[in-house]
Amino acid sequence: MKKFLLLGLLTTCVTMLFTSCGPSKETVLLYATSEEERIEYMQAKLDEKFPDYNIIIQYSGTGALVSKLQGEKTNTDCDIVLELEANNMELLLSENPNFFADLKEYDFNKFTPAAKSYGHTKYAPAVMTYGAFVINKKVLEDHSLPVPQTYEDLLDPKYKDLITMPNPKSSGTGYLFYNGVVSVLGEEKALEYFSKLDKNIKEYTSSGSAPIKATDRGEIAIGLAMLWQCVEYKKNNADLDYTFLDYGAPSNLYVMAMINGHETRPAVREVWEYIYNEMNQDQLEKFCPDPIYINQKPVDPLYPTDVPAIDMKGLFDPSYKQNLLDKWKL
């Protein structure tokens, strides 16, 4: 009798334990190269939309994310690649054409012709980013230096140790500027240019957002950064401004995709469709208004609408990018 009573009590306790905890939430894992501010915003939106799912946005630098996906292949725990350079997506597809789920059932006509120019449906546009030079006016004034007007101005020895650039081998932002100069000058002259610029570079950062943060703190005078970050940081620091210099603004296209086979999970598809149909445009209009949607408009009236864009080369060619990175020795 005592044995049955004890067994009954144990069963009741276990039942109460699981009932109080409730069923475990299904996890949807996203890999992204997005900046911290945007990841926080998107995480909050996803948590609000899907309280019954455990949604995780895992940040990784561009180079690290590509290596991670190459190593994990389709066995990855990742369900959705939220943001990765188009040429890196092409690299992954060149290694495995079935790496990503086909998106042919989704409407691509809402995207601008430039954003959907790659001509297949294995990934969708996520964000078009432009680069700009963020300037700390106070640091320049303290050194009695003018705001640079041209790329050549940056080579002047008076800017020594006052410039910070993300490393193109680890940062999509760094590669954006590197390829921008190559697109204007050609490969040989661009390499000569960066070799000269190196004498004035205080640090090559692994993170694309590190230069603007250092400029914001007054540690340097000039940082190579994303345009949307320049606009945001300028609001909170009167010492900051930004410029495009004479060549214009470099740009890059980042895209999103579902890992092949993972689209069969209802939770993954629900999250994907919310991102694709609503959340991505919402966060772009707030943070990165450079248009990829036909009807996209910036929420922020301070965001420039007349960005002088460089005609970028090799946006969908992984071999083009790898060739440039192999030649980067700084």
**pLDDT single digits (tens) 292-308:** 898 887 778 888 878 89
Above pLDDT 90, what percent of the chain? 72
Which of 95-109, 123-137, 209-223, 283-297 has the lowest average pLDDT?
A: 283-297
164 touches 201 (CB < 8 A): yes
Res. 51: pLDDT tops 90: yes
Tokens of 129: 């980013």
Res. 42: pLDDT tops 80: yes
pLDDT of residue 13: 43
Taking the alpha carbons at both ends of the chain, their separation in whole angstroms is 80
What lies within 8 Å, CB to CB, of 2 at 6+ separation is none
What separation in angstroms does the CA of 288 have from each of 108, 128, 191, 214, 276?
19, 8, 29, 21, 16
Task: Please tell me which residue, 14 or 166, carries the higher pLDDT value.
Answer: 166
Select from 103, 115, 122 the least CA-distant residue to 277: 103
The SS3 of residue 81 is strand
| CA–CA separation, 177 and 306 (whole Å) | 19
Q: What angle do CA 192, 174, 136 make, to 5 degrees?
A: 95
197 touches 115 (CB < 8 A): no
pLDDT of residue 84: 93
pLDDT of residue 93: 95
Which of 132-146, 228-242, 243-257, 290-304 has the lowest average pLDDT?
A: 290-304
**pLDDT single digits (tens) 260-286:** 999 999 999 999 999 999 999 999 988
The model's confidence at residue 65, banded by pLDDT at 50, 70 and 90, is: very high
Q: What is the pTM of this model?
A: 0.80
Q: In the chain, what are the domains?
A: 18-127+254-304 (3.40.190.10), 129-251+322-326 (3.40.190.10)
Rg of the chain over Cα atoms, rounded to whole angstroms, equals: 23
Res. 110: pLDDT tops 80: yes
φ/ψ of residue 125, rounded to 5? -60, 140
Tokens of 92: 């992954």
Average pLDDT of the residues in 162-173? 94
The model's confidence at residue 118, banded by pLDDT at 50, 70 and 90, is: confident
pLDDT of residue 66: 92
